[in-house]
Amino acid sequence: MELSKFCPRCGEETTQLYGDNKQLCSNCFTEVNNLIEAPREIEIETCSVCGRMKEKGEWIEAYTVEDQLGEAFADTAENFTLELQYWEEDEEFFVRLHVSEGELKEHHDVKVEWSQDQCPDCARFQGGFFKAKIQLRGDNVQKVADDITDKAAELTNRNRSDFLSNIEHRDGGIDFYLSTEKMNKKILSMLRDNYRPEIERSYELVGERDGQRVYRNVVSVRLPER
Ligand SMILES: [Zn+2]
Ligand SMILES: [Zn+2]
């Protein structure tokens, strides 16, 4: 025999009651309780030059709004399913966190303050002549190399100052020389979304111009083994 259950708060018949002490139906449970504690407002800081995001004191490779929000809320609803929706309203930016676990559902609206700064790496080279090099390494680099040249061509079509100035084949991979850091950021974002590579940054001194040291931003992109 199966006993039907009634919610003591609204009187509805239900198959499952929730809560440790006070047992309620799913609707009443989420009206009375919060599944998670969400902040009312958060700040997301990005670097105005390389576009990386500052998260827990580290500058991380998250370039798109979607990736940055995903990182910012990664720990907010650890034991639940979390979906994010975002919009702008009167020049303010909001995210709705849809939190759920089975029948239990709730949402929280969080205001996001975006701020821009320069990461220490970029600040070091402020004023210097700045170009980027992507070192693509790993197995089967050719397909990924084709994607990089396609993306570069698309960016050049949109803006003439973004271009691929050179491609060099090396032992173990291919080096791409890019005209702007902005272009570097867009190509890295594409690579990250499609291939989940390991990305590491470094810098090389390439000479001097007008009494200023000239550095090049070097990004090593290592494709995962498969
Ligand atoms: Zn109820
Ligand atoms: Zn930066």
Same domain for 55 and 69? yes
The last residue of one of the domains, among 87, 120, 153, is 120
Examine residue 19 and state whether it is found in any structural domain, yes or no: no
Residue 109 shares a structural domain with residue 157: no
CA–centroid distance, residue 25 to ligand 2 (Å): 49
Indicate if 108 and 155 belong to the same structural domain.
no
DSSP bridge partners of 84: 97
- Decide if 21 is inside a domain: no
pLDDT at 222: 95
Indicate whether 33 belongs to any domain.
Answer: no
Which neighbouring-strand residues pair with 194? none
- Cα-to-centroid distance, 170 and ligand 1 (Å): 67
State residue 126's pLDDT score.
Answer: 54
Domain boundary among the residues 65, 95, 120 is at 120
Residue 177 lies in a domain: yes
What's the pLDDT at 137? Answer: 95
Same domain, 62 and 134: no
17 Cα–ligand 1 center, Å: 9
Q: Report the domain count for the chain.
A: 2
Ligand that lies nearest to the alpha carbon of residue 126, given by its number in the listed order: 2
> Domain span at residue 181?
125-222
Asked if 175 and 194 sit in the same domain, the reply is: yes
CA of 80 to the centre of ligand 1 (A): 21
Which pLDDT value is given to residue 129?
46
What is the whole-number distance in angstroms between the Cα of residue 226 and the centre of ligand 2? 31
| Ligand showing the shortest atom-to-Cα distance for residue 30 | 1
Residues 103 and 144 reside in one and the same domain = no
What are the pLDDT tens digits along the chain (226 aa)?
566 789 999 999 988 899 887 899 999 999 999 999 999 999 999 988 788 999 999 999 998 999 999 999 999 988 899 999 999 999 999 999 999 999 999 999 999 999 998 888 777 655 444 578 999 999 889 999 999 999 999 998 888 778 888 888 998 899 998 888 889 999 999 999 999 999 999 888 877 767 777 777 899 999 988 6
Residues 136, 69, single domain; the answer is no
Among the candidates 120, 141, 165, a domain finishes at: 120
73 and 139 both lie in a single domain: no
> Which residues hold their Cβ within 5 A of ligand 2, which is an ion?
47, 49-50, 119, 122
Q: Would 17 be classed as within a structural domain?
A: no
102 and 138 within one domain: no
* CA 179 – ligand 2 centroid, Å: 16
Residue 115 in domain? yes
Shared domain for 144 and 218, answered yes or no, is yes
* Token output for 162: 């973004």
Q: What's the CA-to-centroid distance between 201 and ligand 2, angstroms?
A: 10
Residues 6+ apart with CB under 8 A from 174: 136, 141, 145, 167, 168
**How crowded is the C-beta side of 34, counted as CA atoms within 13 Å?**
9
* Token code pair at residue 72: 């910012």
**Is residue 30 a part of any domain in this protein?**
no
| 33 Cα: distance to centroid of ligand 1 (angstroms) | 12
> Do 93 and 145 reside in the same domain of the chain?
no
Q: Are residues 130 and 213 in the same domain?
A: yes
Q: How far is the CA of 200 from the centre of ligand 2 (A)?
A: 13
Ligand whose nearest atom lies closest to the CA of 125? 2
In a domain, 213, yes or no: yes
pTM of the model: 0.66
Whole-number Å distance, alpha carbon 223 to ligand 2 midpoint, is 23
